[in-house]
Copies of this chain bind each other. A is one copy, B any other.
Amino acid sequence: MTARYLEDFTVGQRFGSGRLRMDTEQITTFAFAFDPQPFHLDEAAAARSHFGRLCASGWHTACVWMRLMIDHRRREDEARRARGEAVAQLGPSPGFRDLEWLKPVHVGDTISYATEVVEMRPLESRPGWGMIVVRNTGVNQRGEPVISFISSAFVERREREPQAS
A residues contacting B by CB (< 8 A) are 33-37, 50-51, 57-59, 62-64, 66-67, 70, 91-101, 149
A–B Cβ pairs within 8 angstroms, 24 of them: A33-B63, A33-B67, A34-B64, A34-B66, A35-B66, A35-B67, A50-B91, A50-B92, A51-B92, A58-B93, A58-B95, A59-B62, A92-B101, A94-B100, A94-B101, A95-B98, A95-B99, A95-B100, A95-B101, A96-B99, A97-B97, A97-B98, A97-B99, A99-B99
Q: Contacts of A149 on B, CB cut-off 8 Å? A: 95
Closest to A36 in B: B70
Residue in chain B with minimal CB distance to A55: B92
Known A-B contacts: A36-B67, A94-B100, A94-B101. Give 7 more (CB < 8 A): A34-B66, A36-B70, A50-B92, A58-B93, A59-B62, A59-B63, A93-B101
B34 touches A63 (CB 8 A): yes
